[in-house]
Amino acid sequence: MAKTLSLDNLHRLVDALLQEGVRVVGPKRTGTLTVYAPLTRGEELELNELPRRSAKETFFPPCETILSFEKRDGRTTVSDPDLDRLPETVLIGVRPCDAAAPGILDAVFSWDYDDPFFLERRKRTTIIGIACTSSDDACFCTAVGLTPDARQGSDLFLVPVEGGGFAVEALDAKGSALKERHAALFTAGGNTVPLPLAEPKVEPLDLEKIRAWLDGNFEHPLWKEIADRCAGCGACAFLCPACHCFDIVDEGGEGSGCRRKHWDACGFGKFTMHASAHNPRDVQPQRYRNRIMHKFKYYRDKFGQTLCTGCGRCIRWCPVGIDIKAVLDEINKKS
Amino acid sequence: MCIPDKNIYKPYLATIESVVDETPDIRTLRLVFQDEAVRDSFTFRAGQFAEYSAFGFGESTFCIASAPTRSGYIECCFRAVGRVTEALRRLEVGETVGVRGPYGNSFPIEQFFGRNLVFVAGGIALPPLRTLIWQCLDWRDRFGDITIVYGARTESDLVYKHELAEWQGRGDVRLVKTVDPGGNGPNWDGQVGFVPTVLEQAAPSAENTIALVCGPPVMIKFTLPVLEKLGFADEAIYTTLENRMKCGLGKCGRCNVGNVYVCKDGPVFTAAQVKAMPQEF
Amino acid sequence: MTATATTTKHDFEPKLVAFVCTWCTYAGADLAGTSRMQYPSNVRVVKFPCTGRIDPVFILRAFQKGADGVLVSGCHPGDCHYMAGNFHARRRFAAFRQLLDFVGVDLKRLQFSWVSAAEGGKWVEVVTELTERVREMGPMREFIDLDASEHWSAELADAELKAAYHSL
Amino acid sequence: MTQGQQTESTPLVDPACYAAATAAIRAEAVRLLEAGEVTAVVGYRAGRRAGSAMPEVATTAEAAAQLIFTPGCQNNLALFLSKAKREALPKGKVAVVVKGCDLRALAGLIGESQLKRDEVHVIGVACPGVYGAGADLAKPLAAESLARKCRECKVHLPEGTDVVAGTLPPLPDLAPLEAEELARLEAMTPQERWAFWTEQFARCIRCLACRQVCPFCFCTQCLCDRNRPQAVDTSPRPAGNTAWHIVRAMHLAGRCAGCAECERVCPMDIPLNLLNRKMAQELFELYGFETTMQPQEQGALTSYRDGDDQSFIK
């Protein structure tokens, strides 16, 4: 029953989807970096590198227009995007740490009020996950409950096999439908011995114990110790697959313009500052504390999930070398 | 609540019907929804807030300051301190603003039926209580004694001056108004002193009484011990929290105090709830 | 101030923004107006106390808001009302020009000048020359195009996604 | 090509020179703290990952004994002495570990009256070079993993510091990649340069890491954070991004010490130091101004001469 897909056929699958008018987004090399970008042909797919930014931007772009307004002859009119015209999208070549995140974010984006910008894209997107066969020492998915071949969040899952190609597994109706539609590209049998997985060599974490420690240690010298070095940029939040904070701004002019929603980060001093200049999180350690609390306590308290998938991007790109895994290890030891 | 739009970030359009300058920098706007269907169906509870937009400048968060019992319009009251509030202040009668809401929880007014109420407010923090005050006055027979202690730095900093006069004239409300020492003019007929001190002197009974407190952090800080001294339990004291908000919908991630989202779990909290939160507001 | 429009009709009327100091150039421009000198009406004048107050970001903002050319003008060296404001401005704009050039902005759209309160004729000359030069060059597209482009997954424009935004 | 790569990946210098610098820093830091001469030593300590390092504010002799100097010590610690990060340090005199490029930044801060020379004990390091962005920290430093700025470094050995840790090994001559890239851009037409930068800036996600790590971006409120008026759009779109990077380069002109931290920390690989370097080059050509390891009383754009070039002014 197991089906396999050669690398060539994976490329053909992308081409076939594009032919059908489906938007295909996958890791693509642009200049010096690999990012998730709309593909124009299958061969652009770059599966050997974890993209610099996470896949969340497929659902939650860095910046999007939520409405436009125009003032004419004393009348103001507002128009908003036609979300029913958002294209059907296939997000392909997504590693487990990136594939799991959108599902985690569903909770906040559908909490009471449904954010249509996120959820409509979710509805229209099929995620083709891929088991991870390369990792580095910043990776720690296994410490936060995932594995290099975790299926969580994927509709269709590819496991790289010996001799090239992938074993294919449809995980839900969306995945099956996609597989059925392109059945000719998938072959029965073939080598299905998986390549060795990239198991990060990290100490395990007890997330429940960490939550409990965070619960009792809002005030603790640790926060200052870690975060005094924090420069207060948004690199960690913007690269993170699970950070979902945003700002809403009006741009353009008084006469006409757009209201936009764009990524924001709790590390910025301005993030919580009141118009009166009073700031509930006045110094960097308080902001860093909020980041950890949000990911490992608040989100668990509210939605029962952890806002971290262990992709390691914040570790790789922290300008001052703050290592969230080291921080968690330390908390884990304390609790 | 009202006709839901798929785009939760899209405001209803409302026309400024009237403008009242409460103080040199605090203004009340009375807004009427342009869409008749919205006008008819828009309801809210005292304590809820909305996001008001000045198009081209952004959105700002204030409570709905009019009473839920007065339909056909809503009012907001704000001090011009930032980009949006200054832009809102520049708008004139007949111009358009955007309104999203109502959001957040509200005062559990049903639980106050049959009880005495003490309102304690300072400065620009009267509006969140004023909505409830009017609702209670409109339903006067459902409550016991109503006491309002309201103070500001100076006489001119008091908001809703006409309404203060009206309340003072009513026989069924006890209004204690005060200004900080030095803030009183020659014709001042109220008290002189800080709100907590004046509250202590007014000494409303805690018996079967709910206290509703709203004001700057420093006022709250000194008022809570006074209420405690007067015998109020933390569960019988209500206040509202304010934090910087953008979405008002529990998504943008900035208004939380610990795991409590002021925009969704608040803005109304009991003193007991506030004390249980991490002190980060 | 009266700026009398030239009588010739052109296909393209450039929008120019002039940032001027109030003591010299503004007075010079005023002189040109009261002397009924003819010069193109394409220029919008914004006055400042001193060229030293003119932040390079104003120039940027003008281009972003649709200016096709920008003129910055103030007192001659030595004539600054505040002693040295224009000396500082001279260095600042010398540097800023190089930066804009390095980023790829055509410097022909940006003119600096010293125009004193007595030099109504020079004001006319400077404005006319810049107007004609920019007219030749055509509209400044660069910043307008930037404002229209979105950032979608590192692609400047993802046409399919833009479909949803056709109405905006 | 293959030959070139081989030389590029051979270890650059004997790792022992870093070990020697580490030992010297530790000795000095421990001495300073034990003698009570300073309240803290801002240095580097090892991170969890092999070869990684991070800034450390050591306030005890035990912590000082853990300080290191390795090719992973990329940060410019002068940042901690700027107004923006000063809150992280205890009051009183502090010591700071600086490489030559960081020293230029420190001198710049002193020149701008952000601190006084006698408020800081400067521990200079003889620095053969550090890793560039995205380098594999587990492998020894090689020409290919060396930061681009270090290939053309003229300040390997700090001058005017209170002490210098380590000695400089002989260093190979390396192709000046950044200078070459700058020359390539300068040779382009304005249209080509616009296309180049548009593409670069389009990638920017406005994480502001470039601003936050810059020792000179210490404004209490950044122009780009101000919204009355909003000079620069805050959203990560090409328009606002371009304005932001132009404003940033302009505000650093004549001040930038060339530590290239902005470029290193950029998660989107935008070659920001090209802008800074171009401005430095122009200011040198126009006014003979250069940032140095000694504090200067006036910067290029905070001073003037009667005879400054005005050929561009009508």
**Per-residue H/E/C for A43-97:** HHECCCCCCCCCHHHHCCCCEEEEEEEEEECCEEEEECCCHHHCCCEEEEEECHH
pLDDT tens for residues B222-238? 999 999 999 999 999 99
Determine the pLDDT at residue C121. 96
> A23 and C158 in contact by Cβ < 8 A?
yes
Other CB atoms within a 10 A radius of the CB of residue A91 amount to 25
At residue B4 the predicted structure's pLDDT band, cuts being 50, 70 and 90, is low
Give domain status of residue A158, yes or no. yes
Domain check: are D158 and D17 in the same one? yes
Binning pLDDT at 50, 70 and 90, where does residue D9 land?
confident
Q: Is any Cβ of chain D less than 8 angstroms from the Cβ of B90?
A: no
Q: Taking CB atoms and an 8 Å cutoff, what residues of chain C touch D195?
A: 104
* D32 plus D132 within the same structural domain: yes
Whether the predicted pLDDT of B125 surpasses 50: yes
In a domain, D266, yes or no: yes
- Percent of chain A exceeding pLDDT 90 equals 88
For residue A302, pLDDT over 80 is answered with yes
**Sheet with C16-21, edge to edge strand ranges:** C43-48, C16-21, C69-74, C110-114
- DSSP character at residue A142: G
pLDDT classification of B281: cutoffs 50, 70, 90: confident
- With CA atoms as reference, the chain D residue closest to C127 would be D314
Confidence of residue A96 (pLDDT cuts 50, 70, 90): very high
Minimal CA separation from A209 to chain B, in Å:
17
Q: Compute the C-alpha angle D135/C151/A274, nearest 5°.
A: 90
Q: Do chains D and B touch (3 or more CB pairs under 8 A)?
A: yes
B31: three-class secondary structure by DSSP: strand
Residues of chain C with pLDDT under 70: 1-8, 151-168
Find the chain D residues whose C-beta atoms sit closer than 8 A to any C-beta of B. 227-228, 230
Residue D130 within a domain: yes
Structural contact between residues A144 and A101, judged by C-beta atoms closer than 8 angstroms: no
**What does each C-alpha distance from B207 to B121, B210, B225, B232, D36 come to in angstroms?**
20, 9, 17, 8, 61
Backbone angles phi, psi at C33, to 5 degrees: -65, -50
How crowded is residue A170: how many other Cβ atoms within 10 Å of its Cβ? 18
The secondary element (H helix, E strand) that includes residue C29 is helix C25-34
Domain boundary among A158, A188, A218: A188
> What are the residues facing A127 on neighbouring strands?
A91
Domain boundary among A188, A221, A249: A188
Count of domains observed in chain C: 1
Of D106, D135, D165, which marks where a domain is finished? D165
> What residues of C are in contact with residue D254 (Cβ under 8 Å)?
95
Q: In this structure, is the dihedral angle defined by the CA atoms of residues A219, A223, A228 and A234, taken in order, positive or negative? A: negative
Do the chains contact at B82 and D230, CB–CB below 8 Å? no
Contact B93, B11 (CB under 8 A): no
Report d(CA A313, CA A324) in Å as an integer.
Answer: 10
**Phi/psi-derived region of residue A206, left when phi > 0, alpha when psi is between -120 and 50, beta in every other case:** beta
| Residues D188 and D282 placed together within one structural domain of the fold | yes
Average pLDDT, chain A: 94
Residues A214 and A166 in one domain: no
pLDDT band at residue A188 using 50, 70 and 90 as cut-offs:
confident
Both A174 and A323 in one domain: the answer is: no
Q: Does domain B12-103 have CATH number 2.40.30.10?
A: yes
The length of chain D is 314
| pLDDT tens readout for residues D68-78 | 999 999 999 99
Shared domain for D145 and D199, answered yes or no, is no
Q: Would you list the domain boundaries of chain B?
A: 12-103, 109-240
Is residue D28 domain-resident?
yes
Q: Does B5 score more than 90 pLDDT?
A: no
pLDDT digits (tens, 9 = 90+) for D231-286: 999 999 999 999 999 999 999 999 999 999 999 999 999 999 999 999 999 999 99
Say how many residues make up chain C. 168
Provide DSSP, B198-243: HHHHH----TTEEEEEES-HHHHHHHHHHHHHHT--GGGEEEE---
**Looking at CA atoms only, how far is residue A54 from chain B in angstroms?**
19
Asked if the bond preceding D229 is cis, omega within 30° of 0, the reply is yes
In a 13 Å sphere around the CA of D136, the CA atoms on its Cβ side amount to 10
Band of residue B218 on the pLDDT scale cut at 50, 70, 90:
confident
Strand partners, D198: none
Question: Which residue on chain D is closest to C122 by alpha carbon?
Answer: D314
What CATH number does the domain containing C129 carry? Answer: 3.40.50
- Output the furthest CA–CA distance in chain C (Å, rounded): 59
C133 touches chain D (CB under 8 A): no
Answer whether D49's CB lies under 8 Å from D199's CB: no
**What is the C-alpha separation between B124 and D201, in angstroms, rounded?**
43
Share of chain D above pLDDT 70, in %: 97
Q: Are residues A236 and A126 in the same domain?
A: no
Which strands form B12-21's sheet, in the order they lie side by side?
B58-63, B49-54, B96-103, B12-21, B26-33, B74-79
| pLDDT tens digits, one per residue of B52-83 | 999 999 999 999 999 999 989 999 999 999 99
Report the DSSP pairing between strands A246-252 and A256-263. antiparallel
Residue A295 covered by a domain: yes
Query: Coil, strand, or helix at residue A261?
Result: strand
- How does the average pLDDT of chain B come out, rounded? 93
How far the first Cα of chain C sits from its last, in Å, is 39
In a domain, C4, yes or no: no
CB atoms within 10 A of CB B230: 17
Q: Average pLDDT in the D61-67 region?
A: 97
Confidence of residue A41 (pLDDT cuts 50, 70, 90): very high
Distance CA B15, CA B102 (A): 17
Contact D111, D297 (CB under 8 A): yes
Contact B128, B158 (CB under 8 A): no
A294: DSSP letter = I
Distance of CA C38 to the CA centre of its chain: 19
Strands (E), chain A: 3-5, 23-30, 33-38, 63-72, 75-79, 89-94, 125-130, 156-160, 166-170, 187-188, 246-252, 256-263
Do A23 and A68 share a domain, yes or no? yes
Number of domains in chain D: 2
Element (H, E) at C74: strand C69-74
Considering only CA atoms, which of C24, A142, C60, A236 is closest in space to residue D267?
A: A236
For residues D40 and D105, state if they share a domain: yes
Distance CA C88, CA C70 (A): 19
> What is the distance between the alpha carbons of residues C1 and D195, in angstroms, rounded to a whole number?
40
Cβ pair C57:D283 closer than 8 A: no
As for the ipTM of the complex, it is 0.94
The answer on A216 and A172 residing in a single domain is no
Query: What does the DSSP assignment read for C112-143?
Result: EEE--TT-HHHHHHHHHHHHHHHHHH----HH
Backbone angle region of A21, left / alpha / beta, with phi > 0 → left and psi within -120 to 50 → alpha: left
Measured in whole angstroms, how far is the alpha carbon of residue D231 from the centre of its chain? 27
Long-range residue pairs from B271-275, CB within 8 A, at least 24 positions apart, any chain: B271/B213, B271/B224, B271/B227, B271/B234, B271/B235, B271/B237, B271/B238, B271/B239, B272/B233, B272/B234, B272/B235, B272/B237, B274/B239, B274/B241, B275/B234
Instruction: State whether the Cα torsion A192-A198-A201-A203 is positive or negative.
Output: negative
Q: Phi first, then psi: what are they for D134, rounded to 5°?
A: 75, 5
Q: What's the gap in Å between the CA of D66 and the closest CA on chain A?
A: 15
Evaluate if pTM is beyond 0.80: yes
Residue type for B39, please?
R
D149-163 residue pLDDT tens: 999 999 999 999 999
**Residue C131: inside a domain:** yes
Residue C154 C-alpha, separation from nearest chain A C-alpha, in angstroms: 6
In the sheet where B237-240 sits, what is the strand order? B191-192, B174-179, B146-152, B116-122, B209-214, B237-240, B268-270
Q: Is A195 a member of any domain? A: no
Joined together, the tokens standing for residue B256 give 């939380």
Q: What pLDDT was estimated at residue B1? A: 44
Whether the CB-CB separation of A5 and A13 falls below 8 Å is answered with yes
Answer yes or no: is D172 within a domain.
no
Domain that holds residue D152: 13-165
Contact residues, chain C, for D194 at CB < 8 Å = 103-105, 142
- On whether the CB atoms of residues A134 and A198 are closer than 8 A, the answer is yes
Task: Name chain D contacts of C101, Cβ cutoff 8 Å.
Answer: 190
A176, A213: one domain: no
Residue D10: predicted pLDDT: 83
The reply to whether C64 touches chain D by the CB within 8 Å rule is yes
Q: Are residues D273 and D147 in the same domain?
A: no
Return the DSSP state at A33.
E
Architecture of the domain made up of B109-240: 3-Layer(aba) Sandwich (3.40)
Least Cα separation, residue A81 to chain C (angstroms): 5
CA–CA separation, B280 vs C53, rounded Å? 40
What residues make up the domain containing A286? 207-334
Task: Domain of residue C24: give its range.
Answer: 16-165
A326: in domain: yes
Q: Which one, of B96, B87, B71, lies nearest residue B12 by Cα?
A: B96
D169: cis peptide before it, omega within 30°?
A: no
Whether B259 and A298 lie within 8 Å, measured CB to CB: yes
**Whether B118 contacts B176, CB under 8 Å:** no
Q: How far apart are CA A168 and CA A161, in angstroms?
A: 10
Contact D303, D111 (CB under 8 A): no
What's the structural domain count of chain A?
Answer: 2
Residue D250 neighbours by CB under 8 Å, 6+ apart? C56, C57, C95, C96, C99, D279
